[in-house]
């Protein structure tokens, strides 16, 4: 990986040039931008360099690695796993198959969280089921004064979140456990989660086989994790604290009803850029 592509005018071997590698990608059905990003990752160069050097030739090991990367991308493996990182709200985050690839629509959860962050100094925030740490780190990055806790049932996921926190020098308190059981006896000024919410058997899951199933679906009707987050919230929220939840496009009415049944104040739903009902939240009474 560290070797640079050979200069095109060094020993006369036909070799695989960058231009040919990109043609090969097109033939494999890999989108041009994905192919450029994969190749840039493989050669440890940026895209501008690739564009300026399309006659540079890959070394034989690079050519072998390229064929393998193309096959994996063509088989639907997320680009983020192949290059080992992805961007979320301006933060380059390490990702591995132990965590969901952060989705752009989840930035909505972060935007809303920043609006509902208590103004008190050292406001406490919890992100339940943090995965890569994306939501928790985006909040901490935008609100450095907040004390942010991030939980996950998976120790492997927490290790990824920890690595991301260190990479950006953002302090998180990490706690392992299933939803609220990770933080016994603790109360927060704001609680957030992007839990698994896809229903068992949803055709959508077939396209997501490379990501951890536990991060995508709780099974059943898809509402189990949301129910547990809502039912456990009263024991963990300070008066006036908001609980903000990402959910599926057809789950906002169910989530609103669960919040109301649990004693929360007036629930609100926000739509993502695609116009889909994406997040629902409500305040715990008493402020
Ligand atoms: N939004 C993701 C998707 O549909 C699912 C994420 C989740 O279940 N929390 O691909």
**At residue 282, does pLDDT exceed 50?**
yes
Task: Please list the residue range(s) of the chain that carry CATH number 3.40.50.150.
Answer: 100-283
**At residue 66, does pLDDT exceed 70?**
yes
What is the reported pLDDT for 110? 98
Percent with pLDDT over 90 in the chain: 92
* Pocket of ligand 1 contains residue 248 by CB under 6 Å: no
Query: Please, what is the average pLDDT of the chain?
Result: 94
Which CATH fold topology does 100-283 show?
Rossmann fold (3.40.50)
Residue 148 belongs to what H/E stretch? strand 147-152
Task: State the distance between the two ends of the chain, measured CA to CA, in whole angstroms.
Answer: 56
Q: Which residues contact 252 (CB under 8 A, 6 or more apart)?
A: 269, 277, 280
Distance between CA atoms of residues 187 and 12, nearest Å: 68
pTM across the whole model: 0.92
Q: Which of ligand 1's atoms lies nearest the C-alpha of 208? A: 10
Between residues 82 and 2, which one has the greater pLDDT?
Answer: 82
* Pocket of ligand 1 contains residue 198 by CB under 6 Å: yes
The answer to whether the beta carbons of residues 185 and 158 sit under 8 Å apart is no
**At residue 11, does pLDDT exceed 60?**
no
* Pocket of ligand 1 contains residue 194 by CB under 6 Å: yes
Distance between CA atoms of residues 141 and 51, nearest Å: 33
Pairing relation of β-strands 57-58 and 91-94? Answer: unpaired
CA of 225 to the centre of ligand 1 (A): 13
What digits encode the pLDDT tens for the residues 123-160? 999 999 999 999 999 999 999 999 999 999 999 999 99
Q: Which residues contact 114 (CB under 8 A, 6 or more apart)?
A: 139, 142, 143
Distance between CA atoms of residues 94 and 80, nearest Å: 9
**Which CATH architecture fits 1-75?**
Orthogonal Bundle (1.10)
DSSP character at residue 98: T
**HSE, side-chain direction, 13 A CA sphere, residue 186:** 21
What digits encode the pLDDT tens for the residues 96-112? 999 999 999 999 999 99
Longest dimension (CA), the chain: 77
The answer to whether the beta carbons of residues 157 and 131 sit under 8 Å apart is yes
Q: Is the dihedral of CA 200, 216, 207, 212 positive or negative?
A: negative
Q: Which residues contact 12 (CB under 8 A, 6 or more apart)?
A: none
Task: Please list the residue range(s) of the chain that carry CATH number 1.10.8.
Answer: 1-75
Q: Which of ligand 1's atoms lies nearest the C-alpha of 105? A: 1
Residues in the chain: 287
């Amino acid at each position: 990986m560290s070797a640079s592509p050979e200069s095109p005018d060094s020993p006369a071997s036909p070799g695989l040039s960058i231009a040919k590698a990109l043609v090969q990608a097109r033939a494999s059905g890999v989108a041009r931008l994905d192919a450029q990003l994969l190749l840039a990752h493989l050669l440890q160069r940026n895209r501008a360099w690739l564009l300026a050097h399309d006659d540079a030739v890959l070394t034989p090991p690079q050519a072998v690695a390229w064929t393998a990367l193309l096959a994996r991308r063509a088989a639907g493996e997320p680009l983020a796993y192949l290059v080992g990182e992805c961007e979320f709200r301006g933060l380059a985050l390490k990702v591995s198959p132990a965590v969901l690839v952060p989705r752009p629509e989840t930035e909505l959860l972060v935007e809303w969280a920043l609006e509902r962050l208590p103004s008190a100094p050292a406001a406490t925030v919890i992100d339940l089921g943090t995965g890569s740490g994306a939501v928790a780190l985006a909040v901490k990055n935008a609100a450095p004064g907040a004390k942010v806790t991030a939980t996950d049932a998976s120790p492997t996921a927490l290790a990824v979140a920890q690595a991301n926190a260190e990479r950006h020098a953002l302090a998180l308190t990490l706690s392992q456990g299933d939803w609220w059981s990770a933080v016994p006896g603790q109360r927060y000024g704001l609680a957030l989660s992007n839990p698994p919410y896809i229903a068992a058997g949803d055709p959508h899951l077939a396209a997501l086989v490379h990501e951890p199933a536990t991060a995508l679906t709780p099974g059943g009707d898809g509402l189990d994790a949301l129910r547990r987050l809502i039912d456990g919230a009263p024991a963990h929220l300070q008066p006036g604290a908001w609980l903000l939840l990402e959910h599926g496009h057809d789950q906002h009415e169910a989530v609103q009803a669960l919040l109301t049944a649990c004693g929360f104040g007036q629930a609100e739903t926000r739509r993502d850029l695609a116009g889909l009902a994406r997040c629902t939240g409500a305040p715990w009474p008493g402020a």
